[in-house]
């Protein structure tokens, strides 16, 4: 299989999906060293014209140039404990952008060793946070937290790993059963089984967050891995989060 089989070409270019919302598809990465994962960044243009990069993918000069044509990068978001690996490259080339991190990310040993800069923790009450993006914090065991964003103007919900929806036909034959067991295959994709256990362990606060996500009644739901929900998004999200909400 070539490197784009599991991904969504064209790669490393912004693709408009709603007014002031773009996605950038990239990858693949390897989950557990076995499962090839497509990976996706979401870009939001704010009312001041600046850009917010949610879960940055790999940096390329051409991608940066294309984004600069849309607006200056003002915010970079690491929304959970896994999606921070490309921060340093974007920080180097957009040094004036504020980097926001899921609470607890800065305490992880791997993050400390990396030397990556984390300017502010994601908090709904942060003074410098963009007004048109609301936050929903989904907690889990061991300090895990995923921060979902809701772009109110376009009614777009932006997740990371709480839904993974990999298309089996795009995957190598030998890893399809593993992905199915993990619960991350389309059309019935969910969070992987280990992450569901981590989030469920947080009890009531996690269930409340899941209900908040469903209640947003989003027109589209974008996430980092797999076929995102561009139609019937609210119903598909409710089905995907039935284990939580």
Domains of the chain from N-terminus onward: 14-240 (3.60.15.10)
3 pLDDT more than 60: no
Model pLDDT for residues 100-151, shown as the tens digit of each residue? 999 999 999 999 999 899 999 999 777 889 999 999 999 999 889 999 999 9
Output the pLDDT for position 4: 47
Output the pLDDT for position 1: 40
Output the pLDDT for position 33: 64
In the predicted model, what is the mean pLDDT of residues 2-25? Answer: 90
Output the pLDDT for position 127: 82
Q: pLDDT band for position 198 (50/70/90)?
A: very high
Model pLDDT for residues 151-167, shown as the tens digit of each residue? 999 999 999 999 999 99
46 pLDDT more than 90: yes
Q: CB count, 10 Å around CB of 211?
A: 14
């Amino acid at each position: 299989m070539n490197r784009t089989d599991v991904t969504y070409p064209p790669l490393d270019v912004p693709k408009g999906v709603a007014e002031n919302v773009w996605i950038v598809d990239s990858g693949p990465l390897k989950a557990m060293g076995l499962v090839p994962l497509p990976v996706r960044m979401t870009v939001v243009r704010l009312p001041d014209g600046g850009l917010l990069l949610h879960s940055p993918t790999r940096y390329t000069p051409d991608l940066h140039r294309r984004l600069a044509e849309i607006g200056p990068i003002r915010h970079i978001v690491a929304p959970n404990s896994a999606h921070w690996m490309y921060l340093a490259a974007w920080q180097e080339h957009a040094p004036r952008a504020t980097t926001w991190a899921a609470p607890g990310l800065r305490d992880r040993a791997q993050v400390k060793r990396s030397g990556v800069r984390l300017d502010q923790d994601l908090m709904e009450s942060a003074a410098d946070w963009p007004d048109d993006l609301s936050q929903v914090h989904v907690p889990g065991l061991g300090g895990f937290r995923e921060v979902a964003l809701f772009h109110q103007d376009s009614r777009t919900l932006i997740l990371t790993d709480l839904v993974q929806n990999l298309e089996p036909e795009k995957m190598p034959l030998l890893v399809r059963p593993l992905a199915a067991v993990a619960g991350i295959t389309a059309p019935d994709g969910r969070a992987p089984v280990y992450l569901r256990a981590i989030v469920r362990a947080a009890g009531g606060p996690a269930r409340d967050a899941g209900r908040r996500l469903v209640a947003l009644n989003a027109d589209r739901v974008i996430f980092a891995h797999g076929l995102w929900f561009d139609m019937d998004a609210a119903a598909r999200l409710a089905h995907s989060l039935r284990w939580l909400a």
